Amino acid sequence: MPVAGASYRIDDLQDDAFAPGRPLAIVPEPENEHDPNALAIWDAERRLQAGYVPAEVAPELALPLQAVSLWEWREGDRRVGLRVLVATSEVWIGRPRT
């Protein structure tokens, strides 16, 4: 899915933490005044925010979630958008199945 609001965080998106293949953190924001279902997308260390899971998708997702940067949009040498893969921890690829 494309990251919503990435255009407001272009400077943060330049960090290598958002390069394709990098793990990301999905952080619920129940106190978000605009959307109590908001799910923020951060780098794995939660230093920089890329944007949000699209508002129409977020309420359908069951927590906890894991994500990885999948694809990037570039204009010249700058990353201007991301597409991420989001999955519950039970179906995450590379995680041992029990």
Q: Count Cβ atoms below 10 Å from residue 65 Cβ, excluding itself.
A: 20
CB-based burial, 18-32: b 16+ in 10 Å, e otherwise: beeebebbbebeeee
Of the pLDDT bands very low, low, confident and very high (cuts 50, 70, 90), residue 98 is very low
Could you say which DSSP state residue 95 is in? Answer: S
Contact 9, 59 (CB under 8 A): no
Of residues 95 and 15, which shows the higher confidence score?
A: 15
pLDDT over 70 (residue 95): no
pLDDT tens, 10-30? 999 999 999 999 999 999 999
pLDDT tens, 26-85? 999 999 999 999 999 999 999 999 999 999 999 999 899 999 999 999 999 999 999 999
Beta bridge partners of 82: 72
